[in-house]
Structure 1
Amino acid sequence: MTEMTGSYGQFCPVAMAAEVFCTRWTPLVLRELLCGSRRFNDLRRGVPRMSPTLLSKRLKELTQAGIIESRRGPDGSIEYHLTPAGEELREVVMTLGFWGQHWVETQHSLQKLDPSLLMWDMRRHLDPVPLPTRRCTVLFYYPEQPPAQQRYWLVIDGRDVDVCSTDPGFEIDLYVTSPLRTMTAIWMGIATVRAEMNAGRLELDGDTDMANSMQQWLGLSPFAREQPGRGKAA
């Protein structure tokens, strides 16, 4: 691997690994790559507060370090793929995420909410198997957010899942209304669909079967820890 900038000047495996992994934004870029993002614009959606210039710089550094490589996709566009060295960082990233979920104070974490990031994560991990085989559209409404961030549409067509911040024009199968904090807590495994409905913080209107199976098709963040009974009922 090529040495990256910001060397600790120590011949130590921890120091050398930290020089690659611990630069600002690098763990989040690796998280996105490990979650399946391949193209520059998809990576940007996962780290929207990172400037395009800095993202380009980090991708170049990761390429020089032998962590990723660029390839031409089927349509000729540039895609970024993890090398074997990059794949071996999967356990490091997941362990870091589980540590944060377990030890970082939850109430403090729930102040750092972004509806577009939540919807992007939900889109990536949604399980379409419990849903009808036809195209399904779910409208998520966060009433306490600014108008431009209140409504998001998940469009599920077979294995293809897309998220839209403007009305795609399809008939809505299920309306989901809740504070962003509530939906984030469900996604992170801190709460369940049924518990939040019983508490009056989550409303589901529309297709009954889709509403009843929401806990299953919504899935959970990869950093949410399974607890007894979770996922068995809506």
Structure 2
Amino acid sequence: METKASYGQFCPVAMAAEIFCTRWTALILRELLCGSTRFNDLRRGVPRISPTLLSKRLKELEQAGVIASRTGTGGDEYQLTPAGEDLRELVMKLGFWGQNWVDTQKSLKNLDPSLLMWDMRRNLDPTPIPPRRCTIQFHYPELPLARQNWWLVVEGRDVDLCGVDPGFEVDLYVECSLRTMTAIWMGLTNVQAELNAGRLEMTGDKLLAGSMQKWLGLSPFARGERLSA
């Protein structure tokens, strides 16, 4: 079923591209593959898309049989169908290709603290963190005041992200530039290297500080080795 401009070719590549290659679609699929199911969570992962366009893209994906929706107690939820799940390898390989071949230094200019923190929140591994509630504050001093501070609140296996002070005592305070934290997250550097270079500072719980690289982890797209040009 055509939902947008067609290439007009009976070709598997053309037919797939009509679904996959529209603007924002690959990023929406990335979010769904990472576990987001609700509209607001999808928006947090793709913050620059308008609600109207996100709704449109979700309807197109549902019409194409890539996702299915259902109405739950908290609103509509979206799940990948087998056809959508079958796109996982394609989306991951696209990310690895970007990590391997796109000029990372140029793309580091396109930084978004909300997207970075949201990605960190859903990939955080609480295993090395004490079983009590732990609050970790990240401070990016070069950003506008309203976007400088972010809090991850970890309690057991639950991890919450707050853009305003949750009111809990801070166990670990982390300060660096957004560029530095993004580079750590993407595997371009590591926590210890940035500490040694003076680009990263941590104060507070020594256990949390010492295990940061373990509980922080890496972006899923940082796991492939960058190829030589």
TM-score by length of 1: 0.94
- For structure 1, the 5+ residue unaligned runs are 228-234
**Could you tell me which residue of structure 2 aligns to residue 176 of structure 1?**
174
Write the letter of the residue equivalent to 1:8: Y
* 1:150 aligned partner: 148
Q: Match for residue 198 of structure 2?
A: 200
Which whole-Å CA distance do the structure 1 matches of 2:224 and 2:176 have between them?
23
| Separation of aligned partners in 2, 1:67 and 1:4 | 13
Shift of 1:120: 0.5
Q: Superposition pairs for residues 201-220 of structure 1, below 5 Å?
A: 201-220=199-218
For residues 42-81 of structure 1, what are the structure 2 equivalents within 5 Å? 42-73=41-72, 75=73, 77-81=75-79
Whether the 8 Å CA contact 2:125–2:214 is kept in 1: the answer is: yes
Q: Would you identify which runs of 4 or more consecutive aligned residues in structure 1 move more than 2 Å?
A: none
SS in 2 for 1:36: coil
Letter in 1 for 2:3: M
- Give the equivalent residue in structure 2 for 1:231: none
- Which residue in 2 is equivalent to 1:137? 135
SS where residue 84 of structure 2 aligns?
helix
Conserved? CA contact 1:156–1:162, under 8 Å? yes
Shift of 1:226: 5.7
Q: Provide, for residues 99-149 of structure 1, a one-character-per-residue CA deviation record: whole Å limited to 9, x for no partner.
A: 001100011011000111100000010000110000110000001111011
Q: Cα offset for 1:6?
A: 1.4
Structure 2, unaligned runs of 5 or more: none
Alignment: residue pair count: 225
TM-score between both structures, scaled by the size of structure 2 = 0.96
* Match for residue 82 of structure 2 among 62, 74, 84: 84
Residue in structure 2 matched with residue 232 of structure 1 by the alignment: none
- 1:182-225: per-residue Cα shift (whole Å, max 9, x none)? 00000000000000000000001100010000000001000002
1:110 pairs with 101, 108, 111, which one? 108
Q: Percent of aligned pairs with the same residue?
A: 73
Residue 160 of structure 2 aligns to a residue in which SS?
Answer: strand
RMSD value over aligned CA atoms?
Answer: 1.0
Q: How does 1:113-124 map onto structure 2 within 5 Å?
A: 113-124=111-122
Amino acid at match of 2:68: E
Separation in 1, partners of 2:114, 2:50: 16
